[in-house]
Structure 1
Amino acid sequence: MSTTTLLVIAKEPVPGRVKTRLTPPFTPAEAAALAEAALADTLAAVAAAPARRRVLVLEGRPGPWLPPGFEVLPQCAGSLDLRLAAAFGACSGPALLIGMDTPQVTPELLDVDWSAYGAWFGPAVDGGFWALGLAVPDPALLRGVPMSVPETGAVQYERLRAAGLRTGRLPVLRDVDTAGDARLVAAEAPAGAFAARLADLTRPVLR
């Protein structure tokens, strides 16, 4: 039986509050629809992966997109590094955290082996990271890491190395930030809800 707590940190997909870099070309409502689809794919992958606990760390309120089997914790106030740190602080035992921006994630990627590693790290194409796992959750490993900048991933990985943690590397994944990202990610996971929603929004209207 898995000992891992799987954490998903996410925002409620409300127009104007999520995926604002998708507007334009998409409207705020369309960007929120894409965010909801990405979140649904992410939660489906987490639901299918082995885990001791599945926790959604949410800014906002849960909606019909939330499948059964998840605990919901509110995000704390403050910058992203503090919110990620608090998410790990709510865990005992191994924990792996991901966001809602990689709908191409699979259950297999989330089934990590802790026997030889004290941490797991999933780098993102943009220089950040899409996954971070800690065998012994320590919020101090995240506090003060600059977020949403090109060096985020490098700084976070160095924190793990400096703490003496043997760190396993997960594959590099692309976050959905721009319309170009959306097209590339949908092509990687064509059977998902995100790809279907993107296709609906970009299908030419027949007149």
Structure 2
Amino acid sequence: MNAAREDGVVHGQIIVIAKEPLPGRVKTRLVPPLTPEEAAGLARAALEDTLRTVARVPAAGRVLALDGAPGPWLPPGFTVVAQRGGGLDERLAAAFEDTHRLRPAPTVLIGMDTPQVTAALLADALGLLGGHDAVFGPASDGGFWLLGLRDPDPALLVGVPMSTPSTGETLSRRLKEAGMSVATLQSLTDVDTMADAVEVAALVPGSRYAAALAGLGVPR
């Protein structure tokens, strides 16, 4: 069963949670071998690719939950909300809560570290919320790259240890223990290391991200 559509638009919305791509604030695990400026440039390219992919999804709403200030990399059509909360678990929960307050609709959330994501995959995730309470996208490092919730509940996220090899497993278990029906998407690689960066760039050779990596002298 698919989410309701009107004039080709999916009755659902997408959140991108991101940091402003400033040196020293993003992709710090890539420093070294990259400089803070190079890491920020790579993060900006990943964010631009992600936002432009989201812009192509026929969703009813698009939200950027941002830590920082928007820049010229932000395409039109996004509502910007400020991140709030302490740890990442709280900020994810708040992004769902604030977005749902603006538009009570099924909601899919992704980050800025999977520039290989496609509009078709995101549209599928929204569609799955028509017949499931949640959609879960596992990441290859044990985390998750996507979470979709038909009715967001902060309690599902707050307290989940983030950035650990068991983060995804813990969150998935919480969803199921809450009695939710969960659809699982394919696993994707989050960019955390230079090896990840090279692997992901190879999947999207025509992207801003791949061009930015190649511009640093890293083979595609």
Q: Secondary structure, in 3 states, of the residue corresponding to 1:69?
A: coil
Q: Distance in 2 between matches of 1:10 and 1:44?
A: 14
**Is contact 2:116-2:200 (8 Å) kept?**
yes
Residues 141-156 of structure 1 aligned to structure 2 (within 5 Å): 141-156=156-171
Q: Distance in 2 between matches of 1:70 and 1:150?
A: 32
Return the offset for 1:203: 5.8
1:53 and 2:88 matched: no
Q: Distance in 2 between matches of 1:166 and 1:67?
A: 34
2:22 maps to which residue? 14
2:6 maps to which residue? none
Return the offset for 1:115: 2.5
1:98 maps to which residue? 110
Q: Distance in 1 between matches of 2:36 and 2:59?
A: 34
Residue deviations 1:6-49, cap 9 Å, x none? Answer: 00000000001100011111110000000000000100110001
2:4 maps to which residue? none
Select 2:144's aligned residue among 119, 129, 145.
129
Return the offset for 1:77: 3.0
Q: Distance in 2 between matches of 1:95 and 1:71?
A: 14
* AA matched with 1:97: L
| Contiguous gaps of at least 5 residues in structure 1 | none
Residue deviations 1:174-201, cap 9 Å, x none? Answer: 0111111100000011111100100111
Q: Distance in 2 between matches of 1:56 and 1:39?
A: 11
4+ runs deviating over 6 angstroms: none
1:32 maps to which residue? 40
1:189 maps to which residue? 204
> Structure 2 length normalisation: TM-score?
0.91
* AA matched with 1:179: M
Q: Distance in 2 between matches of 1:60 and 1:106?
A: 25
* AA matched with 2:140: V
Q: Distance in 1 between matches of 2:218 and 2:130?
A: 47
Aligned residues: 204
* AA matched with 1:194: Y
Q: Quote the RMSD (CA, aligned, Å).
A: 1.1
Q: Secondary structure, in 3 states, of the residue corresponding to 2:136?
A: strand
Q: Distance in 1 between matches of 2:112 and 2:177?
A: 28
Return the offset for 1:139: 1.2
